[in-house]
Chain A
Amino acid sequence: MKRWTLTMTLLSGLLALASCRRDTPPAGPEAAVGEPIRIGALFAETGPASFLGAPAARTARMLTEQINAEGGLLGRPVELVLRDTGGSPERAVSFARQLIEEERVVAIIGPSTSGETMQIKDICQAAHMPLISCAAAEVIVNPVASYVFKTPQKDSQAAAWIFKTMNEMNISRIGVVSGNTGFGNAGKAQLEALAPEFGIEIAASEIYDSRATDLTDILTKVRGQNVQAVVNWSIVPAQAIVARNMRQLGMDVPLFQSHGYGNIKYVEQGGEAAEGTLFPGGRLLIVDTLPDDHPQKAPLAAYKKAYEERFNEEVSTFGGHAYDAFMIVAEAIRKAGSTERSAVRDAIESLQGFVGTGGIFNFSPEDHNGLDMDAFEMLTVRNGRFEKYSKP
């Protein structure tokens, strides 16, 4: 066993040496083919988090093909090393180790869930492996770990948008329901922390199993507290079930969802019960209605068109997060002019004005998310479509 490890270490060391040497010569015709640049990706293509992971994985594959068709990065082809975590933190950990130690990728994009990301945050930091997470929870980048970044908007910003809208609607007494996932728990904590600042009282707060198929019991309890609005914070199909059960119970108070609602499938599953749902979301979902001079319009429309033609399904926020992560890594490699991890990390941290699906990214040593409040819009569902919410 020991000898095997030693051989592997030596071998991988040799490989690393070989790839380093190939970096240095000036780009000749030979370098255009060259050793592929390996980008690691961890997405839950299957399992309960596949709502997030599957569009993300599809996006990463599509972008790899696109970049290779355009001549690759630094004249070298890009190879995507994608692993399906199934949404399990344990598998995310072992695959992350595999990508770091065996596959020796330049950077890792994903995972889509906060629970998985938090499990591998320290591993990537210790191995000096740039990690661009596609998960939402704020704890991923707060406190900052120098090698860990994330593309989705922060959940504190989402909570602030929700409360801001509630203030406009004169809502002050609300009920919160959340899924028992890392994302749900982080969101619930943010809502509870920010509520006093906006003068909002959380009268009922309930956690449900992320695989729950009926939530009338919890909503009955919330309804008993005479709330003026309900906030649901989860990433699972329960987002559709909350909407249905509320309408079945005859609750007519507004339903707010988190920024995890950004997949039109939740609306389809909610059917007419989803009408009027409010949630903060990125502009990818309303790209058709963006003015032409908006800086995000052109790249978003291009991504949407390519994705929808290729996979025959509507683009979602979660594929968008992977788009951002992948493009940030690609841009950083181009800017750094090398595939050395520390150089790529430095390039990401100094990236300014990068236009992505989540907003316009301005990274800094203190901010590894790079998005401000303006990255969100308050969206609503009307006639089965997403559209920008405007006060009636």
Chain B
Amino acid sequence: MSQALQYAFSGVTMGAIYAVVAIGFNLVYSTTGILNFAQGEFVMLGGMIAVTYSRFMPLPVAIAAAVATTAAVAALIEAGFIRRLKRHTLLHMIIVTIGLSIVIREAALLIWDEKVRSLPFFTGTESSSVRVFGAAISPQTLWVLGTVFAIVAVLHVFFRFSLKGKAMRACSANPQAAMLCGINTSNMRTLTFAVSGALGALAGCVISPMTMSQYDMGTSLAIKGFAAAMLGGLGNPMAGVAGGLIVGLAEAFSVSVLPAAYKDAVAFALLLCALFVKPHGLFPERGSIAREA
């Protein structure tokens, strides 16, 4: 029993990390129709910048500053590169964002170096854990889960009740109509990138004590996060959380019966099966299906 619970905790730990990346994917996709493969790099930047700042200021301030810096970088990227592209199909944008992710990664290698860094654990230490029915979970995992749910809650309120959030949703549903209503769609796009950069950076900070931060951590996060987003249903932030947790749990429980080497294969096999049955993900967002055709 405690063994099964331990696998579940392990799955939730990984799943929460995939989920935060998936939220970033979904956020950008739902407002701009862009699949931003540099999302993993925002996570990396958040962690790395926070580690650097934390030498000069207390941890919470360093994290806030890192989030703000990464949001600025993301906004600059949008304003500098993506805004200038007149013609953008989904495929163009994928290539552009993959290119950007490589540039950010190499820049990080130059700014910092190849070494692995990490923030201190927010509560407790490397070896502390919380016991639940004989299974152990790191306090940092609870921080990650808490952050994920806080992000989801805040996003929900933002999209539903604030004017800016409604404007973003309008851009997503119909850019032309939104423009006719006086919404500056380009600025909305920049704002979306800034928000997704901030979310990525926040995720990068909370996971840094557990997974450690390194200049090239973004790629694998982007792949798993994308899988989670696809599984949940592109464009729906809440579904990204479900997708992330399902991928994480599937990986963890696959280890209990199969050699651990097949972990990734199981996660992706599951994704393929799910997409055969429900091509738009488990919880598709109604608005975004139309655009995919």
Given A46-B114, A217-B255, A272-B127, are A207 and B10 also a contact pair (CB < 8 Å)? no
User: Which residues in chain B, 202-233, are within 8 Å of chain A measured between CB atoms?
Assistant: 210-212, 214, 216, 220
User: Which residues in chain B, 159-189, are within 8 Å of chain A measured between CB atoms?
Assistant: none
Shortest CB-to-CB span from A391 to chain B, Å, is 24
Q: Which of A45, A206, A213, A269 contacts B114 (CB 8 A)?
A: A45
Is A221 a contact of B210 with CB atoms below 8 Å? no
Q: Which residues on A sit within 8 Å (CB–CB) of B211?
A: 213-214
Is A249 a contact of B129 with CB atoms below 8 Å? yes
User: Which residues in chain A, 147-192, are within 8 Å of chain B measured between CB atoms?
Assistant: 180
Q: Which of A51, A209, A218, A250 contacts B264 (CB 8 A)?
A: A209
Q: Which residues on A sit within 8 Å (CB–CB) of B78?
A: none
Given A214-B211, A217-B260, A249-B6, are A273 and B126 also a contact pair (CB < 8 Å)? yes
Given A207-B260, A216-B9, A217-B260, are A224 and B3 also a contact pair (CB < 8 Å)? yes
A237 within 8 A of B: yes
Size of interface on A: residues with Cβ below 8 Å to B: 37
Q: Which residues on A sit within 8 Å (CB–CB) of B3?
A: 220, 224
Given A211-B220, A247-B127, are A269 and B14 also a contact pair (CB < 8 Å)? no
Is A218 a contact of B260 with CB atoms below 8 Å? yes
A354 within 8 A of B: no
Q: Which residues on B sit within 8 Å (CB–CB) of A214?
A: 10, 13-14, 210-211
B132 within 8 A of A: no
Is A249 a contact of B136 with CB atoms below 8 Å? yes
Is A213 a contact of B255 with CB atoms below 8 Å? no
User: Which residues in chain A, 233-267, are within 8 Å of chain B measured between CB atoms?
Assistant: 237, 240-241, 243-244, 247-250, 265
Is B13 a contact of A237 with CB atoms below 8 Å? no
Is B259 a contact of A207 with CB atoms below 8 Å? yes
What class of interface size applies to chain B in its complex with A? 35 or more
A367→B42 CA distance, assembly (Å): 50
Is A207 a contact of B261 with CB atoms below 8 Å? yes
Q: Which residues on B sit within 8 Å (CB–CB) of A50?
A: 114-115
A272→B125 CA distance, assembly (Å): 8
A207→B63 CA distance, assembly (Å): 35
Q: Which residues on A sit within 8 Å (CB–CB) of B210?
A: 213-214
A325 within 8 A of B: no
Cβ contacts A45-63/B at 8 Å (1 or 0 each): 1111011001000000000
B256 within 8 A of A: yes
Q: Across the interface, name the chain A residue whose C-beta is closest to B124.
A: A248
User: Which residues in chain B, 26-65, are within 8 Å of chain A measured between CB atoms?
Assistant: none
Cβ contacts B124-164/A at 8 Å (1 or 0 each): 01111101000011100000000000000000000000000
A102→B137 CA distance, assembly (Å): 55
A271 within 8 A of B: yes
Provide 22 A-B residue pairs closer than 8 Å at the C-beta atoms, listed in order of the A residue.
A45-B114, A47-B114, A47-B216, A48-B216, A50-B114, A51-B116, A54-B115, A180-B261, A206-B255, A208-B263, A209-B264, A214-B10, A216-B13, A217-B10, A217-B260, A220-B6, A220-B255, A220-B256, A241-B212, A243-B126, A249-B136, A269-B212
Interface residues of B (CB under 8 A from A): 3, 6-7, 9-11, 13-14, 17, 109, 113-116, 118, 125-129, 131, 136-138, 210-212, 214, 216, 220, 251-252, 255-256, 259-261, 263-264
